[in-house]
Amino acid sequence: MRIIGTGRAHPSKIVTNAMLEQFLDTNDEWIKTRTGIAERRVISSEKLEDLATEAALKAIADAGLTPKDIDYIICSNVVSEYITPGLSCIVQGAIGARCACVDINVACSGFVYALDMADDRIKSGKAQNILVVAAEEPSRMVDWSDRSLCVLFGDGAGAVVVSHGEGMICSRLTTESKTDCLYYVRNLEPTPYITKEEYGAPMYMNGKEVFKTAVLSSSRDIKRLLDKAGLHPADIKYYVLHQANMRIIEAIANWLKLDMSYFPHNVDYCGNTSSASIPLLLDELAKGGKLQKGDKILMSAFGAGFTTGACIIEWTK
Ligand code: ACO
């Protein structure tokens, strides 16, 4: 597959660190030093489906297609207002496409998993033009009185359209069932027969454990992919990494012995937007004229599960 169009949508509400200081025992210096985040964009009056639709329509237009040309939609999403139907079904109706749709929940690694699935589907000849949308609202998963979590996240939607071509060089997906360091459990409806204890609560994260696992697993994936592709670290134009924390990105840059110019970022003004972070950044690079035909881009993400997804693509647009 190759990427032929990109799009993104941000919520209108910008929440600065100073705004958080008004109701949390926190400060700009702590947040910036520990995370690199200065502000985040969070959903207020809009709905996640509106952002997903906007990003999708922009990606389709950028690809020079219409929604009728899309023959499969993959939506990466952890939570939205709907448990069912899937966000992909809602987006399909909103953009006026007629095709099969599927949602996947691979936490922050979801966009790379979706690209890998799209690559398989195109290789098998089952689809021509696939819309991949990653739309996330992690701001709705955290307790906004918990300073250790709510400062980290932002919302948004990024989309790409992929079609037949030679853009995917290699990919690597991993899953290691490790459910105790990052989770969000919701209560379901009660029934007359439920006797077990229910324990729905806002998101829980063991930050130090996730930090360590993220740096190690992402570095391992990057090394494996570079070896597989026969590339040196500096052969990659940009490392488009999951935007969870600037310190994680800097640790990976140090490990690769590359300067930060290889590591574009949006975590400083978007916060951690889960699986939307990579396509948001990709669209920003593409629309900002930073990508040239032939550039190699390495994407690497990690998330709850514990899951990781990484791939090297060639920019062919
Ligand atoms: N403002 C001020 N103080 C704070 C805040 C805050 N917002 N949050 C926590 N603190 C305090 C703590 O209470 C603690 O105080 P204490 O020493 O008196 O107990 C102190 O700061 C240190 O807290 P730590 O949790 O040890 O801070 P740490 O340096 O580990 O940084 C952080 C925390 C930023 C969460 C870090 O561990 C991290 O980035 N982890 C990775 C998170 C991540 O990548 N998550 C995403 C992965 S998956 C996904 O994207 C959903």
For 207-216, the pLDDT digits (tens) are 999 999 999 9
Catalytic annotation present for 170: no
Claim to verify: residue 160 and residue 181 sit in the same structural domain: no
Residue 127 CA to residue 129 CA, distance in Å, equals: 6
Residue the block writes with tokens 């629309």: 287
Q: Let me know: does 68 contact 96? Beta carbons within 8 Å.
A: yes
Tokens of 177: 């069932």
* Ligand 1 atom 23: residue of nearest CA: 148
* Ligand 1 atom 32: residue of nearest CA: 207
Claim to verify: residue 116 and residue 214 sit in the same structural domain: no
pLDDT tens per residue across span 37-89: 999 999 999 999 999 999 999 999 999 999 999 999 999 999 999 999 999 99
**244 touches ligand 1 (CB under 6 Å):** yes
pLDDT band with cut points at 50, 70 and 90 for residue 307: very high
Pocket test for ligand 1, best of 26, 40, 78, 148 (most atoms within 8 A of CB): 148
* Final residue belonging to a domain, choices 166, 201, 232: 166
Claim to verify: residue 150 and residue 175 sit in the same structural domain: no
Long-range contacts of 252-257 (CB under 8 A, 24+ apart): 252/215, 252/218, 252/219, 252/222, 252/300, 255/215, 255/219, 256/219, 256/222, 257/233
**303 touches ligand 1 (CB under 6 Å):** yes
Q: Let me know: does 32 contact 38? Beta carbons within 8 Å.
A: yes
CA of 29 to the centre of ligand 1 (A): 13
* Final residue belonging to a domain, choices 166, 196, 226: 166
The backbone region for 20, taken as left when phi is positive above 0, alpha when psi lies in -120 to 50, beta otherwise, is alpha
* Ligand 1 atom 30: residue of nearest CA: 208
Claim to verify: residue 21 and residue 159 sit in the same structural domain: yes
**34 touches ligand 1 (CB under 6 Å):** yes
Which domain range does residue 110 map to?
Answer: 2-166
Claim to verify: residue 189 and residue 249 sit in the same structural domain: yes
Tokens of 219: 């570095």
Q: Maximum CA pair distance of the chain?
A: 61
Catalytic annotation present for 27: no
* Final residue belonging to a domain, choices 110, 136, 166: 166
Phi, psi of 61, deg, nearest 5:
-65, -40
> Which residue, 14, 73, 74, 4, is CA-closest to 39?
14
CATH number of the domain enclosing 282? 3.40.47.10
Catalytic annotation present for 181: no
Claim to verify: residue 208 and residue 107 sit in the same structural domain: no
Claim to verify: residue 28 and residue 155 sit in the same structural domain: yes
Residue 236, number of CB atoms within 10 A of its CB: 21
pLDDT tens per residue across span 243-263: 999 999 999 999 999 999 999
pLDDT of residue 1: 97
Catalytic residue (one of 108, 150, 270, 311)? 108
**151 touches ligand 1 (CB under 6 Å):** yes
Rg (CA), the chain: 19
Claim to verify: residue 109 and residue 50 sit in the same structural domain: yes
pLDDT tens per residue across span 154-163: 999 999 999 9
Q: Let me know: does 87 contact 110? Beta carbons within 8 Å.
A: no
* Ligand 1 atom 4: residue of nearest CA: 148
Claim to verify: residue 154 and residue 179 sit in the same structural domain: no
pLDDT band with cut points at 50, 70 and 90 for residue 176: very high
- Span 201-220, average pLDDT: 97
Claim to verify: residue 148 and residue 216 sit in the same structural domain: no
CB contact set of 154 (below 8 Å; sequence gap of 6+): 11, 15, 40, 41, 42, 138, 139, 270, 271, 272, 273
Ligand 1 atom at shortest distance from the alpha carbon of 274: 50
**245 touches ligand 1 (CB under 6 Å):** yes
- Span 2-24, average pLDDT: 98
- Span 270-295, average pLDDT: 98
**35 touches ligand 1 (CB under 6 Å):** yes
CA of 36 to the centre of ligand 1 (A): 12
Claim to verify: residue 158 and residue 212 sit in the same structural domain: no
Claim to verify: residue 122 and residue 139 sit in the same structural domain: yes
Strand bridging mode 100-104 / 201-205: unpaired
Catalytic residue (one of 150, 245, 272, 311)? 272
Q: How many domains are there within the chain? A: 2
pLDDT of residue 33: 98
